[in-house]
Structure 1
Amino acid sequence: TDQSNMSEIGEIDEGLYSRQLYVVGHEAMRRMGAASVLIAGLRGLGVEIAKNVILCGVKSVTVQDEGQTVWADLSSQFFLKEQNLGQNRATCSLQQLSALNPHVLVSAHTGPLSEDLLLQFQVVVLTDSSLDDQKRFGEFCHSHGIKFIVADTKGLCGQLFCDFGEEFTVLDRDGEMPMSAMIQSITKENPGVVFCVDEQKHGFSDGTKVVFSEVQGMTELNSVGPVEIKAHGPYSFSIGDTSAFSEYERGGVVTEVKQPFVVKFKPLSDALLDLELLKMNDYGKVSRHHTLHLAFQALHNFVKKEQRLPRPWSEVSALYNADALLDTVRELNAVAQLEQLDEAAVRNLSYTAQGDLAPMNAVIGGFAAHEIVKACSGKFTPLQQWLYFDALECLPEEDMFSCSTRYDGQIAVFGSAFQEKLERQKYFLVRVGAGAIGCELLKNFALIGLGAGEEGQITVTDMDFIERSNLNRQFLFRSQDIGKPKSEIAAKAAREMNPQMQITAHQNRLDPDSEGVYDYNFFMGLDGAAAALDNVEARVYLDGLCVKHQKALLEGGTLGSKGHTLVVVPHLTESYGQDKSSSKNAFPLCTLKNFPHRIEHTLQWARDQFEGLFKQTPENVNLFLSLTDLNGGGQRPTSWEDCVSWARCKWETLYNNDICQLLHCFPPDQVTSTGLPFWSGSKRCPHPLTFDPNNYLLMTKFTFLLYQTVFGRDLDVVWPLGNLFSSVLYANNLPMFHLAQDDDTNFHMDYVVAASNLRAENYDIPAADRHQSKGIAGRIIPAIATTTAAVAGLMCLELYKLVQGHKKISSYRTAYVNLAVQYFVMSQPSRPLQFKVSYGSAAVLQPFLLTVSYCVGFRDRIYEAVSHLPNLNKALLTA
């Protein structure tokens, strides 16, 4: 009922979908809210896809599965427990899936798939399905306009296929904001050349269509429709004939116009034969994706003939099964004509096909769910049409050799000895402001059994408390958990998934103040750490601790549809802190104060005003009151009228007087020493505003409400007031406000939006709505469950290698993903920097271990050598 109402009136629960809306936008959310999705197969991969799609907020999700729960399911199906053995997977998972999102209608279907069933849905997803079913239902969906997706994982290999029909319209290629640039000049010729200010590259490419606005002089451009450009360089491009236009004077903004485009798809039967539709993602495995394309077909043939998957390599018949699979691949290649087959990959697929790994399901499940978002919304570029992904490098570097346990799906790949090693691990999970990745990591830790033995231990710390906006991505939390500590609830949820988990929850911030808790003894008792952090400073700090104590670090982050993972291995790979590419891009103070030309500038200015008036000022007053016996006087307001008067005067100062003063110093006709107009390029000439209670009352209202709250919390004022009254306001300790953008009742964002848009009006900058303003001023990081799940899965695949102790850097992978445009690249991590010193060389991740006798004899030489090293805090000198 909730969902049908939302679809009919077009309302969106912005409190719940807050972060996701900055990824997909309101229109895409509305289209998703009208889509029904069928997910067939509810083992580990199926439930991962269902979880992500339900969190994203489609209209309905139906999960179909005829099978019964077996032991191997527990290694990756996080909504099944031991008491569910022998029961239907879909019905056992239904209640927990439904609890993920109250706006999504979730149902279970335990009968077989049929064409009549498929007709009820806009998107159909098959997991753990036969090739015959894929072809049959794929043809049906293609001919009936139903978007069709196949997702599968077998051990350490995964497959994804998309068919969105004969013609699918993509409304927005990448989901990014349209690019724009300020104009410096425009030539009057054929073709006309546009020069942009050199503060920022325009970012356009040949064929980009743009529109012009605010151009003075050559005003004809302002009314011209989208124009196709030819890029000349980062700051210039040419357009059509401008020779008949007026002379350009100054100003102007050029903005990209995103154009819809049509994508054509082949049905699965035809796409199987088209190797051009395969996407390569790992440049260390150039031919792997082609080989896996044939190997998955051969695997389907094997299962159809034998009615089972190939035996794991710990069994005697495993070699014969692998030979049979390889023979079939060679037969298929007689048609495909691949120049090179990766026969080792085919054998490893055969040996591990019975495996069901949570991290692999997280990766493929995240990718598949993002394709469902595209199919439902028309947002982002869909996969065309095959994707293969493997992590066979996770296998032991040396040879290794089922019992009924919850880890059977994992033991089939890695063996029992490795499982025991996993359970003995001690890991530190730091979750600060990025609870979504932390939740996904804890889910994977519970499923794979990390730290679940008597000697194992997982320590998780997060100082945050659960908010409603978290529920859209942090799937371990429910509405009844709002206001509770994230770390405690997440640890409890992980123990419910796997009662054997040894997990301790802390609520500490990881910074120098907590070094007494996370000290030398704590770190030396760890095997490694995993970071789920939302800022560079915290990541660098944790990285420094891991470098100092020589501990491995798993690092991952997301930004909307984009994600990145990094594994740091002592003595083998570079540390996170060695990458200097991350830096803050702060706006120059003069731009914010006098010369804004983008809405981001006015929003930052408004945020600074908020913090100055309602945080820093009360803080300074409190300090003064604590040092002085103040009995009265000063500028303390003593009545309601005083607060209104102050707010009204503040409006006049900011939007009239300050602007008049600026124009007095720099008149509109001011020219520079070179004779060029001062107000040109990125400098917009402002104009003062005249207060009008019919248009500008909101800013005064919100300023008053915040000001009176600072000086008297108990003052009850109804706006507008019929009867004015006075209430003496005495405050011995003034409250300070930190911008809380997610609270719609505290007037914080009301003030910032009103202040910013008035400032924008001063400078003729297009205003921003509340949603856009909240994202910019609140510095909200866009987030969606699909990317988060995939990134956490990639991190845990690297965890497998760390636990095994892989020594070859070629085994490890750094991943870069942008699911919006199906950009997925994996590469070998970089080696640590080496520094030459007088007695040899050392790496940043290789501390100096020196004996006392050596130090006594060569102290001066040591200091001279060490002084040549940058970042001395990264080097550990032990004596």
Structure 2
Amino acid sequence: MQIQSFDELATEKELKLFGKTTAQKFQRLKIIIIGLSSLGLEIAKHISTQQPELITLCDQQSQRLKQCEQLLKTNNVTQIETLEMSYKDNEILSKVDKHDLTIICDIQSLNFAISVSEHLRQNSSKNQKYNKGVIWTCTFGFICLKFSDFGQGFKVFDRDGVQPFPYHITNITNSNPGIVKIHESIPHNYKTGDFVRISNVEGMTQVNGPEARPIKVISPTEFSIEYTQHYNKYLAGGLVQLTKVPFKYHFQKLSESIYKPNTLKTNEDKIVYSTVIANLQLLDQTTKPQSEQEIINIALAVYKTFDLDQFDVQLCQKTIKFMQTTKYPVISLWAGYCSLEVVKFTGKFTPLECSFIQFVSDIDSDDQQIKVKLQSLNALVIGSGGTGCEVVRLFSLMECCTQPNSKLTILDDDIVRKYTLGTHYWFNSSTLGKAKADVAQEQAQLLCNTMNIDVDKSKFSEKSEIIVKQHDIIFSAINNQTSRLLIQQQAQKHNKILFDQILNGLKAYTQFGKPNQQLQIQETLKNVYNVDQDTYKKFPYLPIHCVLWAKEVFDNSFVGFVTDFQKFLQDRNGYLQNFDEPDVVDNYHIRAHVINRISKPGFNLTLDKILSLSKELYEFHFEFKINELLKKYPTDALECVWTGYKKIPQPIKFDSNNMDHVAYIQITTLLISKLFNINASAVFKQEYVIDKLQQMTENYWNLTNPLVPTPVEYSSQNKPQFLNFDDDQVRGLYVRCIHSLTNLRCKNYNLQPIPLYKVQKYALEMHRSNPIMHSIIVGWMGIELNKYLYGNCKQRNMHIDINNNILEFI
């Protein structure tokens, strides 16, 4: 692995959130968007970040076309075409034919949406090679509606986008059918009809093999397979793993799914939905304004098709009133959600034919003063990354904080770096190095020049309490657990409204906190890779276990080391009192041994010594510790532990001619040099490193035999500093270090190596973000803010998990 420069490291970014194959499929799509009102504009903006082959913009207003085209050009879309025509134009269907996917936005016509669906189905039946699809979506005030029709026989290649991983088998019965039981610690997520592969079973070897077999789920830890009565008796071990078999998803015709939606959960949903459909039916019949009573009569008829008799006329009237309004937060949320449905057209994730959300029933009554209340807000946004910028943008679209005594304060001490490019379309190459808060302020005032925006470029801390006291509403737009807890404490102490969120990839959880209300601040979102330490430290059987091990090694080597050094300087004897003569050399002994040597008066830490330390760390992790493990668990023991899924590791001797080994030395040396602020630019040259390594005749540090520290004087002249993970260079080195550690560990255990882009995904697990999810989160924030200002409304938290098709308001 050739390392050229810090810049080269910094530009290695996380692959697109949806994966390599999905990204490639998306880049071959030709998409037409008909209707470029606010919703269409937002959807176009989102899908353009996925770089489809062609986006055709269609609207009868030239100004909308120009605005949208200009926006898309900032995302470097390969090809953009514009059509200035009405959806009623006779040629519109011929234009649709030239595209793979048609997105109809805020065209309030049932007839047009159905006609496009029928037309595409007829054409698809003539060409069986691939389906064409249509998504029709609208917002009506506090109401969102979306229908999809990707045709009959649409193929889903990956139902949830989650990487399958094996479960431990604890028993298989000899019966008809055979019952497979897995370890109770981690329940499976299988469904009846799924296919699995079984391996490493001892005794009942007939079930081992590459063939996929169907299962029937019995319980969270049991499922049945084929007839196993005449198979050998199960003895021990075994792994079972889901095999994702493509399946066909048969969409209903749009004309059917509109009148038989399967997503309406409550009676209120059905009343509001019936009212929307009634209004759309009347709009197709006449261009004249409809009377309220006409809509109520048709809504009642639609409602009766659900076989219910609890029609609430007042809710219907309230729905009619709200349908005439535009709510930017609703548009933000729904544009993000519909953009994810566009991604599903590639065959990744299970699509949804109908999606419907309404917030009308949460609101007691309309408030004519809502605009004045928004204009009079005193709000604080903490963090101006992707989520924070989207909050500021939404505020500018709603024209908030424009009254003389109101203000929006953006608090963030960070600058735009290479790794932040793409998290929001405000961040581009021209903003590199600028303060994020300044960029947000500048862009927001271009959208609404009457907004009162203050910028505070300090880091959020306990001292920020003064700023919190000056505002009524706090928006937490950061993921850091410690900071989020501190924000809640300060908001609660001073009776402030708090909006909290946590985002990880395609999962997010948001909370609304009233004054004096304590929220449960989640540290992380559920991660399926949580495994016990014994597995990833001693008996890894999956590459992901090697990533977990690598992350822990990194933390011990470059974070724990600095923490320990500080403890050492504060209380040397207290820190070393647990050292003794080690029977087993662990990370603590290594750190204490190195700290003790570096801190001796007059010790000169040179680049050569750091290179030697890096080489000895390699030998410690990939040779010494593996040999220790094999001594502890001999392969020829009577009760051998190396059975079932446990793979026997092999030590890897360091080889200066192996470029993977040299790359590890380069990366580790660069990181240690960063800790001590030592110039290590020469290390980027492999020839220099190889030459230095070949000159080493003995181990300078002797890590595998650390000496008990002796009570001598010490110096803090070589005191290390914590790595700055906001720095592009450090993040690049971090990912490369995890990648190197992971694949060397995989080599120890004869596991498949992991490509860099996957390691990035795992290494930066809590930092995966994208504009689509920011849009959804901030849309929720805006909706709940509106509801709070209305007063006497039902406030809800939001949980979204795209992998499992969850969007719920709790």
Contact 2:14 2:760 in 1 (8 A): no
Contact 2:374 2:399 in 1 (8 A): yes
Q: Specify the alignment match of 1:3 in structure 2.
A: none
User: In the alignment, does 2:357 pair up with 1:389?
Assistant: yes
Q: Specify the alignment match of 2:545 in structure 1.
A: 601
When residues 128 and 589 of structure 1 are mapped into structure 2, their CA distance, relative to the original with a 3 A threshold, is closer
What displacement does 1:29 show?
0.7
CA distance in 1, matches of 2:194, 2:722: 48
Q: Specify the alignment match of 2:379 in structure 1.
A: 427
When residues 723 and 302 of structure 1 are mapped into structure 2, their CA distance, relative to the original with a 3 A threshold, is closer
Percent identity reads 21
Paired residue for 1:707, among 652, 666, 669? Answer: 669
Q: Alpha-carbon deviations, 1:530-576, whole Å to 9, x = none?
A: 222214333232222221111111223333333333211236xx532
Q: Please identify, of 133-142 and 792-801, the stretch whose mean Cα deviation from structure 2 is larger.
A: 133-142
CA distance in 2, matches of 1:795, 1:621: 43
Q: Please identify, of 617-626 and 469-478, the stretch whose mean Cα deviation from structure 2 is larger.
A: 617-626
CA distance in 1, matches of 2:48, 2:440: 19
Q: Specify the alignment match of 1:88 in structure 2.
A: 63
When residues 541 and 786 of structure 1 are mapped into structure 2, their CA distance, relative to the original with a 3 A threshold, is same
What displacement does 1:124 show?
0.8
Task: Determine helix, strand or coil for the equivalent of 1:21.
Answer: coil
Q: Specify the alignment match of 1:264 in structure 2.
A: 250
User: In the alignment, does 2:479 pair up with 1:528?
Assistant: no
Contact 1:215 1:253 in 2 (8 A): yes
Q: State how 1:845-856 maps to structure 2 within 5 Å.
A: none
Q: State how 1:326-405 maps to structure 2 within 5 Å.
A: 326-332=296-302, 338-375=308-345, 377-384=346-353, 386-393=354-361, 395=363, 397=364
Q: Give the counterpart letter for 1:703 in structure 2.
A: I
Contact 1:179 1:204 in 2 (8 A): no
Q: Please identify, of 676-685 and 52-61, the stretch whose mean Cα deviation from structure 2 is larger.
A: 676-685
Q: Please identify, of 547-556 and 529-538, the stretch whose mean Cα deviation from structure 2 is larger.
A: 529-538
Q: Alpha-carbon deviations, 1:618-650, whole Å to 9, x = none?
A: 7878977999784456xx4575xx666554444
Paired residue for 1:698, among 641, 651, 660? Answer: 660
What displacement does 1:777 show?
2.5
Task: Determine helix, strand or coil for the equivalent of 1:279.
Answer: coil
Q: Specify the alignment match of 1:102 in structure 2.
A: 76
What displacement does 1:361 show?
0.9
When residues 715 and 825 of structure 1 are mapped into structure 2, their CA distance, relative to the original with a 3 A threshold, is closer
Contact 1:599 1:765 in 2 (8 A): yes
What displacement does 1:455 show?
1.7
Contact 2:510 2:797 in 1 (8 A): yes
Paired residue for 1:776, among 762, 767, 770? Answer: 762
Q: State how 1:654-693 maps to structure 2 within 5 Å.
A: 654-670=621-637, 677-680=640-643, 684-691=647-654
Q: Give the counterpart letter for 2:632 in structure 1.
A: C
Q: Give the counterpart letter for 1:607 in structure 2.
A: K
What displacement does 1:30 show?
0.4
Q: Specify the alignment match of 1:175 in structure 2.
A: 161
What displacement does 1:134 show?
2.0
What displacement does 1:223 show?
1.9
Task: Determine helix, strand or coil for the equivalent of 2:271.
Answer: helix
Q: Specify the alignment match of 2:264 in structure 1.
A: 280
Q: Specify the alignment match of 1:518 in structure 2.
A: 465
User: In the alignment, does 2:747 pair up with 1:761?
Assistant: yes
Q: Give the counterpart letter for 2:81 in structure 1.
A: S
What displacement does 1:425 show?
0.9
What displacement does 1:300 show?
2.7
CA distance in 1, matches of 2:302, 2:530: 57
CA distance in 2, matches of 1:17, 1:697: 19
Q: Please identify, of 338-347 and 792-801, the stretch whose mean Cα deviation from structure 2 is larger.
A: 338-347
Q: State how 1:312-323 maps to structure 2 within 5 Å.
A: 321-323=291-293
User: In the alignment, does 2:137 pair up with 1:162?
Assistant: no
CA distance in 1, matches of 2:483, 2:630: 43
CA distance in 2, matches of 1:477, 1:703: 34
Contact 2:35 2:59 in 1 (8 A): yes
Contact 1:367 1:819 in 2 (8 A): no
Q: Please identify, of 588-597 and 484-493, the stretch whose mean Cα deviation from structure 2 is larger.
A: 588-597
CA distance in 2, matches of 1:135, 1:186: 52
Task: Determine helix, strand or coil for the equivalent of 1:262.
Answer: strand
When residues 739 and 593 of structure 1 are mapped into structure 2, their CA distance, relative to the original with a 3 A threshold, is farther
Q: Specify the alignment match of 1:576 in structure 2.
A: 519
When residues 582 and 818 of structure 1 are mapped into structure 2, their CA distance, relative to the original with a 3 A threshold, is closer
CA distance in 2, matches of 1:733, 1:534: 30
When residues 238 and 365 of structure 1 are mapped into structure 2, their CA distance, relative to the original with a 3 A threshold, is same
What displacement does 1:771 show?
1.8
User: In the alignment, does 2:118 pair up with 1:139?
Assistant: yes
Q: Alpha-carbon deviations, 1:322-342, whole Å to 9, x = none?
A: 223212323555767553333
Q: Specify the alignment match of 1:795 in structure 2.
A: 781
CA distance in 2, matches of 1:128, 1:57: 23
Q: State how 1:170-569 maps to structure 2 within 5 Å.
A: 170-187=156-173, 190-216=176-202, 218-242=204-228, 245=231, 250-273=236-259, 275=260, 277-280=261-264, 286-304=266-284, 307=287, 321-332=291-302, 338-375=308-345, 377-384=346-353, 386-393=354-361, 395=363, 397=364, 414-415=367-368, 417-431=369-383, 435-512=385-462, 515=463, 517-519=464-466, 522-569=467-514
User: In the alignment, does 2:792 pair up with 1:825?
Assistant: no
User: In the alignment, does 2:799 pair up with 1:816?
Assistant: yes
What displacement does 1:510 show?
2.5
User: In the alignment, does 2:685 pair up with 1:718?
Assistant: yes
CA distance in 2, matches of 1:212, 1:463: 52
Q: Please identify, of 199-208 and 732-741, the stretch whose mean Cα deviation from structure 2 is larger.
A: 732-741
Q: Specify the alignment match of 1:850 in structure 2.
A: none
Task: Determine helix, strand or coil for the equivalent of 2:383.
Answer: strand
Aligned residues between the structures = 738
Q: Give the counterpart letter for 2:329 in structure 1.
A: P
Task: Determine helix, strand or coil for the equivalent of 2:380.
Answer: strand
CA distance in 2, matches of 1:111, 1:533: 43
Task: Determine helix, strand or coil for the equivalent of 2:198.
Answer: strand
What displacement does 1:296 show?
2.5
CA distance in 2, matches of 1:297, 1:785: 31
Q: State how 1:640-659 maps to structure 2 within 5 Å.
A: 646-659=613-626
What displacement does 1:819 show?
3.6
Q: Specify the alignment match of 2:128 in structure 1.
A: none
What displacement does 1:66 show?
0.9
Contact 1:152 1:159 in 2 (8 A): yes
User: In the alignment, does 2:113 pair up with 1:149?
Assistant: no
What displacement does 1:720 show?
3.4
CA distance in 1, matches of 2:798, 2:176: 46
Task: Determine helix, strand or coil for the equivalent of 1:88.
Answer: helix
Paired residue for 1:28, among 11, 22, 43? Answer: 22
Q: Alpha-carbon deviations, 1:186-224, whole Å to 9, x = none?
A: 455554444434443333343332112344555443324
CA distance in 2, matches of 1:612, 1:163: 52
Contact 1:194 1:239 in 2 (8 A): yes
Aligned-pair Cα RMSD in Å: 3.7
Normalised by the length of structure 2, the TM-score is 0.82
Task: Determine helix, strand or coil for the equivalent of 1:203.
Answer: coil
Normalised by the length of structure 1, the TM-score is 0.76
When residues 825 and 618 of structure 1 are mapped into structure 2, their CA distance, relative to the original with a 3 A threshold, is closer
CA distance in 1, matches of 2:632, 2:598: 40
